[in-house]
């Protein structure tokens, strides 16, 4: 017997940025021990890939959870244009007092995107390299409330 | 529980159009996807089946049987076809990732006899995909919501 099913839509975006893993709370020796080569004072960079997953009902008139004509410019403004070819430590307000690990980057991107008006943000997944990826689906109660 | 995923590919044409919309509205909502001459994609389908491996065979399901089901239900139906005109199950629907993933779920779900269908992931391009999964919440609810999915 066929049960109920649900749908989500995922779009991938790309940006390149530099960062340095370093915390003022630790001594230089501790930073080096903790973050290794990622603590290099001149920084380094990655080609980041961001997967944005939206969930919600499919509009029968359009066949869509959300129109990419709305999602693409929103993500482009909030994330791609904001982060591409930038230094995350120096140029992104959220990282002024926060280490730009990809765990924290996931949370920052999630919080920048959760106000997307046309569908519910289900998850943000960030690939720092093809070998490392991180996901964030919001803390309990953090997601934007579904409108009935 | 083990999840087994099999991948299959097909290439097809489509365009987005809703006859209830005016020509201007179709162009505004669907953009270049509204081009009536159509365009196409190399679609990739990842089908995931979940279950316990049979102790005798060590397998959740017979992958050869799954391969035949995917060939019959997906590839034979959609490969080198125009999704708007040649797939009757999509008649009256806009052939988006979401609707194609949902159709593939509906075609496969009753035919998976070993294990249960866990997820259909349909890639329209490497940067865009839809996932169709069982809605555990709706199954558990006393009344199924009158959802549009």
What's the pTM? 0.90
Whether residue B52 is contained in a domain is answered as yes
pLDDT above 80: residue B140:
no
Instruction: Read off the CATH number of the domain in which B102 is found.
Output: 3.30.479.10
A5/B133 touch (CB, cutoff 8 Å), yes or no: yes
**Side-chain half-sphere exposure of B7, counting CA atoms within 13 A:** 5
pLDDT given for residue A143 in this prediction: 56
- The per-residue pLDDT for range B82-115, each reduced to its tens digit, is 999 999 999 999 999 999 999 999 999 999 999 9
Whether residue B148 is contained in a domain is answered as no
Could you tell me what percent of chain A has a pLDDT over 70?
93
> What is the number of domains present in chain B?
1
Q: How many CB pairs under 8 A join A and B?
A: 93
Cβ of residue B18 closer than 8 Å to a chain A Cβ? yes
Whether residue B80 is contained in a domain is answered as yes
Mean pLDDT score of chain A? 93
Query: What is the distance, to the nearest Å, from the Cα of residue B85 to the centroid of all Cα atoms in its chain?
Result: 17
Whether residue B87 is contained in a domain is answered as yes
DSSP code, position B52? P
- The per-residue pLDDT for range A86-136, each reduced to its tens digit, is 999 999 999 999 999 999 999 999 999 999 999 999 999 999 999 999 999
Query: How far apart are the C-alpha atoms of B109 and B102, rounded to whole Å?
Result: 10
Judge whether B108 and B120 are in contact, CB under 8 Å. yes
Domain boundaries, chain A: 8-136
Which residue, chain included where needed, has tokens 């066929």? Answer: A2
Interface confidence (ipTM) of the complex: 0.87
- The per-residue pLDDT for range B4-57, each reduced to its tens digit, is 999 999 999 999 999 999 999 999 999 999 999 999 999 999 999 999 999 999
Cβ of residue A10 closer than 8 Å to a chain B Cβ? yes
Closest approach of chain A CAs to the CA of B90, in angstroms? 11
Third-level CATH fold of A8-136: Tetrahydropterin Synthase; Chain A (3.30.479)
pLDDT above 90: residue A48:
yes
pLDDT above 50: residue B143:
no
Whether residue B109 is contained in a domain is answered as yes
Six-digit token string for B75: 């590839």
pLDDT given for residue A120 in this prediction: 97
pLDDT band at residue B141 using 50, 70 and 90 as cut-offs? low
Cβ of residue B118 closer than 8 Å to a chain A Cβ? no
- The per-residue pLDDT for range B117-139, each reduced to its tens digit, is 999 999 999 999 999 999 887 65
Mean pLDDT score of chain B? 93
pLDDT given for residue A137 in this prediction: 96
Name the closest residue on chain A to residue B16, using Cα atoms.
A62
Based on the residue annotation, tell me whether B33 is a catalytic residue of this protein: yes
Q: Which of A11, A57, A63 sits opposite B94 (nearest CB)?
A: A63
- The whole domain housing B61 covers 2-140
Judge whether B11 and B77 are in contact, CB under 8 Å. no
pLDDT above 80: residue B145:
no
Cβ of residue B75 closer than 8 Å to a chain A Cβ? no
Helix count and strand count (H, E) for chain A? 5, 5
Which residue, chain included where needed, has tokens 């994609």? Answer: B41
Which chain A residues are within 8 Å of B144, Cβ to Cβ? 4
pLDDT above 90: residue B81:
yes
């Amino acid at each position: 017997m066929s049960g109920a099913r649900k749908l989500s839509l995922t779009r991938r975006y790309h940006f390149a940025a530099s960062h340095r893993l370093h915390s003022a709370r630790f001594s230089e020796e501790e930073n080096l021990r903790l973050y290794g080569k990622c603590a290099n004072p001149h920084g380094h960079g990655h080609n980041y890939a961001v997967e944005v997953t939206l969930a919600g009902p499919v509009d029968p008139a359009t066949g869509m959870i959300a129109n990419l004509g709305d999602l693409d410019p929103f993500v482009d403004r909030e994330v791609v244009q904001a982060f591409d070819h930038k230094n995350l430590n120096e140029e992104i307000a959220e990282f002024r007092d926060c280490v730009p690990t990809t765990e924290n980057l996931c949370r920052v991107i999630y919080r920048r995107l959760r106000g997307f008006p046309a569908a519910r943000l289900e998850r943000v997944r960030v690939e720092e390299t093809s070998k490392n990826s991180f996901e964030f689906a919001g803390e309990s109660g953090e997601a934007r409330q579904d409108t009935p | 529980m083990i999840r087994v995923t099999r991948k299959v590919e097909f290439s097809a044409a489509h365009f987005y159009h809703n006859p209830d919309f005016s020509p201007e509205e179709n162009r505004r909502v669907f953009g270049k996807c509204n081009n009536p001459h159509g365009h196409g994609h190399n679609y990739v389908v990842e089908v995931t089946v979940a279950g316990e491996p049979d102790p005798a065979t060590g397998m959740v399901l017979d992958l050869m049987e799954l391969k035949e089901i995917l060939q019959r239900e997906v590839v034979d139906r959609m490969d080198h076809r125009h999704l708007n005109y040649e797939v009757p199950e999509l008649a009256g629907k806009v052939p988006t990732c979401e609707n194609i993933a949902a159709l593939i779920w509906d075609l496969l779900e009753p035919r998976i006899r070993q294990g249960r269908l866990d997820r259909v992931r349909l890639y329209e391009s490497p940067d865009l995909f839809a996932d169709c999964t069982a809605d555990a919440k709706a199954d558990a609810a006393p009344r199924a919501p009158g959802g549009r999915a």
